[in-house]
Structure 1
């Protein structure tokens, strides 16, 4: 059995002014990770990651994920390297395709998302490693670019849910970030896809799970599941006290997930109190 690391997600449904307090609450609760989403057209992922890192001293801060079509790869390398240097060992960035509808809205949708991701990921890794990079790809083009302050060995994750993307993440990235709205069956299938393609047995797999606690938790989950297009929340969420949350997270660990991220509902009324319950669940798993 894998005992997963436990973290929370600060989603774009919550005003960014609440971010510093939420990050500190996660750290105070003894959690391992604090993750941010970069959804168009909401929080800026690298901006909020910098705030979360500066607001805390220990907890790892993940960014899942930066859409490859949206950011020039050299700029991404500059920003990611800066955060790695300023907060060594605490930043967990991820890249991926982005939501194609949003990429279409901003005029950045790629004709071949997998080709773009391959070119982008390999170029970004080379830049972070300190190499001088010249590339003339289908989507990525650089001419003798080298970072002044590289970070060799910096972790770089890839997120997605399709089989091709999962196999790419497993074989090329330092970890795989799964989508939030996956049923247990789809999570098992995704873990099997990743494990089958991973080059190491300890390849990290990060998966969010919708969680509600306290009075009205089941009602909030039903409403959230409906917004996500599900008739029931049973297969994508957990409601209850810290013990019930811990039991569910342990079962996710048995699937091979190495980091479970508690995902609040959009209308969570007490984010700090919710975080404290997640911390209690994490303590029961240790």
Structure 2
């Protein structure tokens, strides 16, 4: 595995070397509910089947960024470059057990003992990635079996897909035996506008209370670029329509970004535009993630 890691060219950094200090001050106890750790590859090699090789973005940098931005906790999501080897994720969770929770990627063959060890470390969900440019396709029966097993632990499922795939995936997602959290607003086509039929169908899917949605990641969705105002109508509609089932995260270190390097301070400053009241901000940043990942009422 180490040989594979060293033979694929490492991509340039995708995270800002000196992000700005946000003007917006998050409420005390705020959670960055979608971020990642990468490597360091010398200790936690990247998966041979990965589609990209990121620059190391270890836990120390993530935790320093969290403090710089004014957040108190992280939900760390396993990214495709580490495959189903969750060692870097578990290491980060065990380093700060009170302030972190995790979302893992697992194989159907994982043992109950391994799942229970992850649970003790702070994992509370598994992620299913349907982006073929990032992962090799897997049978939905495999995802179904994994969901049934983690449901017994009280975990949920996080899904990553693009809006054109929603119609095909929706019946499968509705049938999963857990809460389902959708990454990055289902990746709508921002150029079509928030009134587009495709986004309306996504909003309608969320009428089912089993679905939650992450409303961050404007840097991936924008057409116009920073300060990402073209993405605000999508996120704000979701926050105002489903205030008790929305989450927000930086997506640091912004894996596989090609267009530009996002300034995380600028991302934080967009929060009042998508959650315009203190009550909505508190639900988005504190109440919802604490309920879902820390089991707090």
Could you tell me the TM-score, scaled by structure 1's length? Answer: 0.54
CA distance in 1, matches of 2:260, 2:187: 21
Corresponding residue to 2:189 among 177, 183, 190: 183
> 1:38 aligned to 79, 95, 106, which one?
79
- Report the CA distance between 1:18 and its aligned residue: 2.8
Counterpart check, 1:84 vs 2:124: no
For residues 122-172 of structure 1, the C-alpha deviation after alignment (integer angstroms, 9 at most, x for no partner) is 322333356xxxxxxxxxxxxxxxxxxxx2x22223332312224422442
Structure 1 CA distance, aligned partners of 2:230 and 2:207? 34
For 1:156 and 1:95, how far apart are their aligned partners in 2?
7
Counterpart of 1:174?
A: 179
Alpha-carbon deviations, 1:56-95, whole Å to 9, x = none? 32244345xx4xxxx63021765443222222xx633212
Return closer, same or farther for 1:204/1:18 CA change in 2, 3 Å cut-off.
Answer: same
Task: Name the structure 1 match of 2:223.
Answer: 233
1:58 paired to 2:91: no
- Counterpart pick for 1:210 among 218, 232, 252: 218
- The Cα of 1:22 is off from its aligned counterpart by 0.6
Determine the C-alpha separation between the residues in 1 that align with 2:261 and 2:94.
23
Contact 2:180/2:210 (CA < 8 Å) preserved in 1? no
Corresponding residue for 2:16? none
CA, structure 1 residues 46+157, in 2 after alignment: closer, same or farther (shift >3 Å)? Answer: same
The number of residues matched between the two structures is 218
Structure 2 residues without counterparts, runs of 5 or longer:
1-29, 39-52, 273-277, 283-297
CA distance in 1, matches of 2:77, 2:109: 22
Report the RMSD for the aligned CA atoms in angstroms: 4.6
Taking a change above 3 Å as real, the CA distance of residues 123 and 7 of structure 1, as seen in their structure-2 partners, is closer
Measured in 2, the distance between the counterparts of 1:258 and 1:102 equals: 26
Structure 2 Cα separation of the partners of residues 186 and 31 of structure 1: 34
Q: Please, what TM-score do these two structures have when normalized by structure 2? A: 0.52
Residue of structure 2 equivalent to 1:106 = none
Native 8 Å contact 2:90 2:118 kept in 1: yes
- State the distance in 2 between where 1:244 and 1:196 align: 21
What is the aligned partner in structure 1 of residue 14 from structure 2?
none
Q: 1:39 to 1:129 in 2, by over 3 A?
A: closer
Q: What is the alpha-carbon distance in structure 1 between the residues aligned to residue 208 and residue 111 of structure 2?
A: 27
CA separation in 2, counterparts of 1:250 and 1:198? 14
1:16 aligns with 2:51: no
- Equivalent residues of 1:209, 1:238 under 8 A apart: no
CA contact (8 A) 1:246 1:282 kept: no
Q: Which residue of 1 aligns with 2:250?
A: 262
Alignment-derived partner of residue 126 in structure 1: 148
Considering fraction of residues, name the structure with more strand: 1
Asked if structure 1 preserves the Cα contact closer than 8 Å seen for 2:93 and 2:121, the reply is: no
In structure 1, stretches of 5+ residues that fail to align are 104-108, 111-115, 131-150, 212-223, 226-231
| Maintained 8 Å contact 1:52/1:61 | no
Deviates more, 1:178-187 or 1:121-130: 178-187
